[in-house]
Amino acid sequence: MMPEFQEYSGCIHVHSIYSDGSGTIPEIIKAAQGARLDYLMISDHMTLRARDEGYTGWHDDLFVSVGYELNDQADQHHYLAFGLDQVLPPGYDHEQYIQAVKSRGALGIAAHPFEERDMSRSVVGFPPIPWGNLDYPEIEVIEIWNMMSHWLELTTGWNKYWNVVHPRSFSTFPSRRLLSWWDKANLERKVVGVGSVDVHAIKVKLLKIYTKAIFDYKIMFKSLRTHLLCDAELNKETSPSVTETAIFDIIRSGRTFVSNFRWGDATGFRFWAEDERQQLQMGEAGILAKPVIRAVLPKKGHCRLIRNGEVIQKGKTTTIEIPVEPGVYRLEVLQRKRGWIYSNHIKILEKK
């Protein structure tokens, strides 16, 4: 039977004028409502000012969580922290802040962990900011696809005009290098993947005129979304911290998937494993008697079923039902040869 969940789709990693973004918080909230997001996770660099000003909570049908983006003294190891009421004391290195975020029960997300850029062709003068090493057990969640860093990686002097005018259409896939690290890591421990927009809505000068803003907030909110599959509806009557906890718990659990809205609304996508008695959802591990992998898609797409990092089946379809061996599974769905949906992993264990 198809699992029943309350689905919420939203955007993670947003910058405002409180750091290096161009929009005010009310403008950003309005853009997110216009894009019909269910939730929004704002993360300015090194400040919780929007939280201090009381923006955490419901804004009509949009839930806003305010966290912040940490970096170390050398501006490396960018890390999103959500659920902290105060910024951490200054001077922490990344090993200290990933511990501190975890010990305070907050949600940490390693930002653009595999960012790369060919500096000889790049349109920007600053180098990429990857995480050299992600093998910290406290890192439970990573960005598997970051719209901004992906754009910076692919934009050169040759295509900048096209990429500025069509900021979503260049987007292809998450980094192969990252996905292969992610699949390998999940053989050993659970590492959840989310999508992020990392939107700043920077105004750029093009052909001597300032364009409105590349990565306009509303346009970016129609790109990479992270869908949460919750057991129950988020209750608007409870305090914001209760809703935040529910959202963070689902993200940590891995019952989420990433989609690029540019290629269609992925709401309704489901991916699970089952036998006659029980189901395993994304993010879960367990033993199944005669495991079957199943998926339902909101529209036809090119599916690639991945087991332990290798593609084992592919084809264009709207439903999947495949008997499988134990292993760690995830599903990718392409649309017009572009990445559309990326599930989290399901781990089917060997019988003892």
Beta bridge partners of 97: none
Nearer to Zn ion, 111 or 346 (CB): 111
Give whichever of 20 and 135 is closer to Zn ion, judged by the CB atom. 20
What mask of x and - would describe binding to Zn ion in positions 127 to 166, judged by CB under 5 A?
Answer: ----------------------------------------
202 and 214 Cβ atoms separated by less than 8 Å: yes
Give the nearest distance from C-beta 115 to Zn ion in angstroms. Answer: 8
Smallest gap, in angstroms, from Cβ of residue 46 to Zn ion? 11
- Please give the residue whose beta carbon sits closest to Zn ion in the complex: 78
Is residue 78 a contact point for Zn ion (CB under 5 A)? yes
Phi and psi dihedrals of 233, rounded to 5? -65, 145
Number of residues that bind Zn ion (CB under 5 A): 4
DSSP code, position 89 = P
Considering only CA atoms, which of 78, 86, 91 is closest in space to residue 104? Answer: 86
Q: Of 140 and 198, which CB lies nearer to Zn ion in the complex structure?
A: 198
Q: How far is the CB of 49 from Zn ion (least distance, A)?
A: 15
Draw the binding track, 282-311, toward Zn ion (x: CB under 5 A; -: no contact). Answer: ------------------------------
Give the Cα separation of 291 and 289 in Å (integer).
6
Nearer to Zn ion, 216 or 332 (CB): 216
Judge whether 5 and 30 are in contact, CB under 8 Å. Answer: no
Q: Binding to Zn ion (CB under 5 A): which residues in 183-212?
A: 198
Least distance from Zn ion to the Cβ atom of residue 44, Å:
8
Backbone angles phi, psi at 28, to 5 degrees: -65, -40
**What is the DSSP secondary structure assignment for residue 60, as one 8-state letter?**
T
Give the distance from CA 50 to its chain's centroid. 21
When the beta carbons of 23 and 283 are compared against Zn ion, the nearer one is 23
Stretch that binds Zn ion, among 48-56, 77-85, 113-121, 293-301 (CB under 5 A): 77-85
Instruction: Kindly tell me which of 111 and 303 has the beta carbon lying closer to Zn ion.
Output: 111
Q: Per-residue DSSP letters for 228-292?
A: EEESSPPPTTS-HHHHHHHHHHHHHHT-EEEEEGGG---TT-EEEEE-SS-EEETT-EE--SS-E
Q: Which is nearer to Zn ion, 78 or 218 (CB)?
A: 78
Residue 131, both tokens? 């995480």
Containing H/E element for 39?
A: strand 39-45
Least distance CB 273 / Zn ion (angstroms): 34
Binding positions for Zn ion, rule: CB under 5 A? 69, 78, 111, 198
